[in-house]
Structures are given as structure tokens and as C-alpha cells.
Amino acid sequence: MRRLLLPFLLLAIAIGATVVTDRPQPPADFTFINRGDVTTLDLQKMSWMQDLRVARCLFEGLVRHDVFSAGYSLLPGVAERWEVSPDGLTYTFHLRSDARWSNGEPVTAQQFVYSWRRALLPDTASDYTALFQKIAGAEEFFDWRQARLETFKPDPGDDSCPLHETAAWRMWKQTEQRFTETVALRAIDDRTLTFTLALPFPPFLELCAFAVFYPVYPPLVSQYELPDRATGKLDIQFGWTKPPLMVSNGPFQLVTWRFRRDMRLERNPHYWDSGRIAIGSIAIPSIEDPNAAVLAFRSGGIDWLSDTSATYRAEILADKLRYYTEHNDEYRSLRAQGLDPVEIDRRLPPDPRASIHTFPAFGTYFYNFNCQPRLRDGRDNPFADPRVRRAFTMAIDKRRIVDEVRRVGEKVATTLIPPGSLAGYRSPDGLPFDPPAARRLLEEAGFPGGKGFITVELLFNKDGGHDIVAQAVARDWETHLGVNVELVTREIAVFKDDLKNQNYMIGRAGWFGDYGDPATFLDLSRRDDGNNDRKYDSPEFEGLMNRADREADPAKRYEILSRAESLIVDQDLPLIPIYHYVQMYMFDPHRLTGISSHPRQEQNMYEVDIFGDGKGSDAPKAVSGER
């Protein structure tokens, strides 16, 4: 009974604390605007950039990236050292003795096992379950649990008996035992974690630096995950992610989270490397309007704007180019030295125009097609036909979008993986802009001149300038295909749910690679992948991806993956690549250090320092390319 009452006691504490935390707080040492409101702080359920960014502030995994190295090398995190067997299958991590949670308790190997098991449960519905299924026995375990849930029948009288005597509880105990027996993931002792993969996967070590592989604190989280008497599934609640309850193991801890208002983080005194952190607190205000976000930065209230999407961003960038022109000789000399772009700006004379920074990004903006035979309302879905999807793809003038709508230097995308971003990988061609060919394809599919085609609903979320892109795309489809297009705008949380539940026809999307391999993009279209919002299902594609999984030769593996991408962007088109991202930040390089220009766009807030105003140290610390 004590176990059942604990969540309610914790909730009461949280409600009481809210009264205190709603009072005005002192200014934070560092303030930044996130890409959007955080949707979850449950590590194993994360997928969105804004969530992952905050996760890296609050938690830490076995390893972490050196975001200032050109090769994005790995550094020790919770693990102080590790070994990989010669066959590339078995990994052993040795955890540091001083790794601590924010409550002072040690971080243990058993807690990683618990957290990774969460990601493997169908109950959790993690978008990244497929990554964890690379561990030997993990896919078998997932399928076993799924089958048991589908056939679960509660015992008569479940409603009246204690939870630990119910059929749901008994099945959960069987699940824990099955996991131990089946999945090759072990805590040898408190400080030794080992696992064995089913097949070699060279990027797996890098995955251990990805936020969904970070640990959660089982003594707390388990109180919010109890078997449901009626379904047998774990009833997963998220009260543990709220302050002051949350327990984390990263450089900062969560102090305040007021939805659509702000978040506040403060340095975790128990973090093993706390002494090297220059800032004591972080504020993350919620400012939805991108124009207001730029004004907040220019007024001095914001130190870093993580995504500049104001309608006048092209004019801001043009001002930056004029600034370079005015200092042309010095600028060219610094570039010739091979310096990082941020360091170049830091060595040029101070100027407000130098605060905009544009970097290539390891990501692509695209549109999803709902590929299911029927729409959610029961109507036949014309986008289930690949010919229709190719037609709509070839009817978009992407060059006009990047040159006249976006105007910030992005490149037209005909592929999902940004060309040239992975050494040794050859990108396919993709489909060109070809309205006559598009009309022929639509006619072949039974819609000559667009006649008889349903009104196309194009779904996107409010922020980020997606409306302007959608308007341009809608004009192209109406002009070149003769169809009617309705623009559908949703708030971010509703938009996310609509995508996950296939409650759309065509929806905007974007993806930044999670690790340095083609699979980080291609896995999005695998049949059972949690990020396959299109519900694309191709035996040919699955066969190619399975072949790549079994191919040990890196060059041959890349060749197979290139063929798989060709199927996506040349033939089946479950999605439409629009453009490859550039990342636009705003920060004063003469005042702020610790922001990396690497295309992977991962920022470690423990690297941040602000100088010249008494908040941080008095001199700049290392920047990109200068460690």
C-alpha cells in the first residue's frame, strides 16, 4: 500500500512547491530560447530536438561527444573507460566511482539496465526501440511482451484484490524474468555494464551518447509505472519529470518547469565534473513568436537564440555579409588560417551584426505522406499510390523555396541524407522539378488534370515559418497539378500527436541525424520504427536494410544503404525532401563561448561561459576548432 500511495504524496509535495517556485526568481547566469516548448523529459520517449537539448543539460550517458572536435570524438561520461570485443559485438563499460544523481546517490550499472529495458518495452512506445533491439535477444523480448499484452486477460476479481496479486502483476514479474533470461544486457556489478549485439553495428558506441540511452532514476520512476489491472500494460505516468521531484545525473538539475512559460536549471552540485562548469543557472523562457525572440535577444534579455526563424532573418543575414565586406581583408586572412567561423567573428571588431551565425546542419526538411490505404476518416487515400507521391514531389519548385522564401543559404534537397555529410557514402539523385512529368504521373493514377482528387490537407505546426513554405508548396500543387489544397495549422503538441496517429494526409517534418551513419536517416522508414510516421511498408526496402545490417564490409554496406535511399527518394517517395537545413543561431561571440558550429548541432551547456559582465570567467574559453 505504501508503494501505491507514494505518487500521491509526491504530487502533494509538487503542488506545494509550485506555490514557492511561482515567485519571481533572480536572473539566471545564462538564458537561451529553445527551439520550441519541451514536450517531455522522459528520456526513453524523447524524439524532438528541444527535448533532447534539455536532456543533455539534466542527464548524462555512458559517453558524451566532444562537440568541438572535427570528428565528433567520444569522451568519458558516466563511464570512465570501456572496451569493445574484436568481433565488434560485446561492449563493457566501467562506471566512474564519483558519478552521482542530484540527490547524492551513486549512478549504477543496474540503473542503465532498468532504463534500457524501459526503452525496449512496447508499453513505453519509444520512438527508438529499434536501436535498442540491436542488442542480442532484445527483439525477441519485445515480440514476446507484445504478444502477451495482446492476449492478456485479467483475472475475475482483479478490481478488489491487491495489485501484487493481480494477473497484471504476475505478468509483469514474468516480463522482468524474461528480460533477464533473453536480453544480453547485464550489470556485472554496480560499476560494470556489459552487453552483446546481435550483429556488429559500428555506430553503437556513439549511440551511448544519445539522450534516449541515458539512465533514469529507478527508485523514483518505478513509482510512476504500475501494471494496469485491465490491460496488463505498465501505466506510465510522468509526475517524476516535474520539479522538485525529478532526480537527474547531469551537470544541471531542474528547478522550475512552467509549461509555455519557462524552465530554470541550476548546477548539480553532485555532478562528477561540476567544478569545470562556469555558469550556475540557466533560464529557458518560452517565446513562441520568432520575431519576438529576436527582439528579446537584441534587448539583452537572451544570451543564445538556438533557432532564428524570424520572418526577417534573411535581412539579418544580409547585414552580417555587409559586415564581412567592411572588414574584407581581415576576414579573408582569418579564413585562410582555417579558423572556425565563430572564432573568426570573435577576432573581428565587435558589432551587433556579428551576432547572427549560420552553419550547415546534418539535417533535412521534408514532407511526410500518409502511406496507409485509408485515411483516418475512412476515405480511400490517394497517397497510398507511389505514382501520386512522385507526382506531388516533382511538382514542387524547391529552388524557388530556398531562394525566394527561405533566403538563408539552404540547399535544395532531392535526397534525405545531406550529400557529402558522410565520408564514403554516395547519394542517389532524387527526383527533379518536372511539372509535365508530374501531371503525366497523376493522370496515370486516374486523376487527369487533378480531376476527382480530394482536397489535399497540408499539416504543419505554427512556429518556425512553416506556414510560408506551405503556402509556396500549395501554390505549386494547385498550379501544376490542378488540385485544391487546404493548409492545416496545429499547436506543436497536437501536431505531434496527429503525425504519430496518422491523422493527416501530408505533414511537414524534419530530421537531424542522431549519429554519424546513413541509418540514422534511413531507419525512419523501416516498417516498425517508432519514427515511421508515414507507415511506409516496403519489403524491398526492408530487405536492403536487413542486408546492410548483416554486411561487415563498410564500403559494401554503404553501397546497400545508398540503394535503400534511392528507393526512398527515386521510386517510392514516402516523403518529399525539400531542403537541407542550415542552423541559424544568435549570440554575441565577444561575450559567449562554448557554442559549437559542428553540423551535428549538439550543444553541451556545461561548456558555456559568459565573460565581461561578472557572470562567468573573465576570458574566453576554447571554441570550435581550438581545444
Read off the pLDDT of residues 228-242 as tens digits, 9 standing for 90 and up. Answer: 999 999 999 999 999
Distance CA 577, CA 234 (A): 37
Give CA separation, 275 vs 140, 279, 280, 626, in Å: 44, 10, 11, 21
CATH of domain 2-241: 3.90.76.10
Distance CA 224, CA 313 (A): 44
Tell me the domain boundaries of the chain. Answer: 2-241, 360-582
First-to-final CA distance of the chain: 54
398 confidence band (pLDDT: 50, 70, 90): very high
Residue 3 confidence (pLDDT): 41
Residue 624 confidence (pLDDT): 34
Among 2-6, 280-284, 552-556, the least confident range: 2-6
Residue 612 confidence (pLDDT): 58
Residue 462 confidence (pLDDT): 79
Task: Tell me: pLDDT of 132 over 60.
Answer: yes
At 477-515, the pLDDT tens digits run 999 999 999 999 998 889 999 999 999 999 999 999 999
Residue 611 confidence (pLDDT): 79
Alpha helices, H only, 272-385: 290-298, 313-326, 328-336, 341-347
Q: At what angle do helices 554-566 and 539-550 cross, to 10 degrees?
A: 170
Residue 261 confidence (pLDDT): 92
Residue 71 confidence (pLDDT): 81
Cβ contact 398:413 at 8 Å: yes
Q: At what angle do helices 313-326 and 328-336 cross, to 10 degrees?
A: 90
Residue 162 confidence (pLDDT): 85
Reduced to 3 states (helix: H, G, I; strand: E, B; else coil), residue 583 is strand
Domain 360-582 matching CATH 3.10.105.10: the answer reads yes
Which three three-digit cell numbers place residue 521?
536517416
Specify the higher pLDDT residue, 375 or 14: 375
Residue 552 confidence (pLDDT): 85
pTM of the entire structure? 0.85
Which three three-digit cell numbers place residue 313?
532573418
Residue 23 confidence (pLDDT): 64
Residue 620 confidence (pLDDT): 42
Task: Tell me: pLDDT of 447 over 90.
Answer: yes
Q: At what angle do helices 109-120 and 138-150 cross, to 10 degrees?
A: 50
H-helix or E-strand spanning residue 575: strand 575-586
149 confidence band (pLDDT: 50, 70, 90): very high
Residue 163 confidence (pLDDT): 82
Residue 601 confidence (pLDDT): 84
